[in-house]
Amino acid sequence: MKKMFSVNHESKKMDIALLITRVGIGLLMLTHGLPKISGFSEDPVQFMDLLGIGTTASLALAVFAEVVCSVLVVLGLGTRLAVIPLSITMLIAAFHIHIGDPFAKQEMSLHFLLVYVVLFILGSGKYSIDSILFKTMNNPISKLKAANA
């Protein structure tokens, strides 16, 4: 019972929680992004021109964020950078696309945004490609071996 109310954050548990969060949120966002790919086959492209850059470019940015960046988040590759376009997309969804809708319609975008902010702050965790790539770069012993080679 004491463990249930503990506020100590063991590193391994935090890394597992980050893995579950990354994979879960990334796969959930892919369900929104993958159907948008078919929008490129429509002539003319049917998508909102939110930034004044044209419907095709707006759709491309949305697909980049919701598909490419979501895959990067799932893999844990460049997670902090990948959540930036995703966060911007969710801000636009919540406060531009759904601004006139009831809060229940905005809520999903805000939930996604909240998770992306947490991932931006905490990073991808130990069970990620980021961890594998940067473990050797930040390891002092690896630096010494490289310097002596």
pLDDT, one tens digit per residue, over 12-50 is: 899 999 999 999 999 999 999 999 898 888 777 778 887
CA–CA–CA angle 66, 133, 131 (5° rounding) = 75
Sign of the CA dihedral with 81 first, then 84, 85, and 87 last: positive
103 vs 56: CA distance, rounded Å: 28
pLDDT number for residue 50: 78
pLDDT number for residue 41: 82
pLDDT number for residue 125: 94
pLDDT number for residue 47: 85
Residues of the chain with pLDDT under 50: none
73 vs 9: CA distance, rounded Å: 22
pLDDT number for residue 135: 80
Consecutive H or E run containing 39:
none
The whole-model pTM stands at 0.85
